[in-house]
């Protein structure tokens, strides 16, 4: 019986995925890193497969008061956020206006119907009751 060593699969993944750390993992690694000696710090970096630049960036995040799970990349422009908010508010107000116009139209038709039921013609009235001041 000869034992042949098992070879690892040489296939490489089609697309590499970026490793992401949760806030709890970052806090745990920072705590361990800061309480360790210089040699142990290198061992922690190797074990967690991170660079010292990760530690530096996480420390800066923590010192700035930012949550450790803060996203990387471009932040939305403040003007774009305001424009989006105003556009949504404008659409909401237009919908309310359309609804209000429909309600006013229905009220006018109901008033005209009531006037015909009472015996008066809606055309004989000088003004509509809701337009009186």
The answer to whether the pTM exceeds 0.85 is: no
Q: Token pair for residue 43?
A: 């061992």
pLDDT per position in the chain (133 positions), as tens? 556 778 877 777 777 777 888 889 999 999 999 999 989 999 999 999 999 999 999 999 888 888 887 676 787 788 888 899 999 999 999 999 999 999 999 999 999 888 888 876 545 555 665 565 5
**SS3 breakdown of the chain: % helix, strand, coil, rounded to 5?**
60, 0, 40
Could you tell me if 122 and 112 are in contact, meaning their C-beta atoms sit under 8 angstroms apart?
A: yes
pLDDT computed for residue 91 by the predictor: 97
Q: Token pair for residue 35?
A: 């309480």
- How far, in Å, CA of 71 to CA of 60, rounded? 14
Nearest C-alpha neighbor of 112 from the set 130, 92, 87, 86: 130
In which residue are the tokens 């630049």 written? 53
What element of type H or E holds 39?
helix 38-48
Chain centre to alpha carbon of residue 66:
17
Q: 58: exposed, middle or buried (C-beta count within 10 Å: 0-12, 13-18, 19+)?
A: buried
């Amino acid at each position: 019986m000869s034992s042949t060593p098992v070879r690892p699969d040489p296939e490489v993944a089609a697309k590499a995925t970026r490793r992401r750390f949760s806030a709890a993992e970052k806090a745990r690694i920072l705590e361990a890193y800061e309480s360790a000696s210089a040699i142990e710090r290198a061992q922690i970096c190797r074990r967690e497969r991170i660079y010292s630049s990760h530690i530096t960036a996480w420390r800066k995040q923590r010192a700035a008061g930012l949550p450790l799970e803060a996203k990387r990349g471009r932040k939305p422009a403040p003007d774009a956020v305001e424009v989006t908010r105003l556009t949504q508010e404008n659409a909401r107000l237009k919908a309310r206006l359309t609804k209000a116009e429909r309600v006013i139209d229905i009220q006018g038709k109901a008033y005209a119907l009531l006037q015909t039921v009472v015996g008066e013609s809606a055309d004989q009235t000088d003004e509509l009751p809701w337009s009186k001041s």
